[in-house]
Amino acid sequence: MTWKDKKKVANYISERRRKYKQKLVELKGGKCQLCGYAKCITALEFHHKDSSKEGQISKIYNRGWERILKEAEKTILVCANCHREIHEKQKSGETVTYF
């Protein structure tokens, strides 16, 4: 495979991931479910509510839309700041409530 072909494949994968994330963000309400942030989609992340996750959403984009949706059901959409705060609370042993 030539470098041009590799670049086309990489671009295709990046675009597919971007589209999947856009769809998932829309399905989750389009904004941080804790603070309402909605300015930049790249600052929105998926946080698993419990430990029953199959994998990170960002790592399973190549496993089919149905599988992605199933995994996304286990998450809440949060901005990067709220996501970091959730993990800090969990590290310190605090109970985290999402709604």
- Of 74 and 96, the structure prediction assigns the larger pLDDT to 74
Confidence check: pLDDT of 78 > 70 = yes
Domain assignment present for residue 46? The answer is yes
Is residue 97 one of the residues assigned to a domain? Answer: no
Q: Is residue 96 situated within a structural domain?
A: no
What's the CATH number where 81 sits?
3.40.1800
Tell me: the pLDDT tens digits for 3-29?
A: 778 899 889 888 988 999 999 999 999
> Residue 20 belongs to what domain range?
3-91
For residue 99, tell me if it sits in a domain.
Answer: no
Both ends of the chain: CA-CA distance in Å?
50
> Is the confidence at residue 48, as pLDDT, over 70?
yes
Assign 98 a pLDDT band (cuts: 50, 70, 90): confident
* pLDDT computed for residue 99 by the predictor: 67
What pTM does this model have?
0.82
Q: Which residue has the tokens 């603070």?
A: 35
Cα separation, 22 vs 34, in Å, equals: 19
How many CB atoms within 10 Å of residue 36? 10
In this predicted structure, what is the pLDDT of residue 50?
77
Number of domains comprising the chain: 1
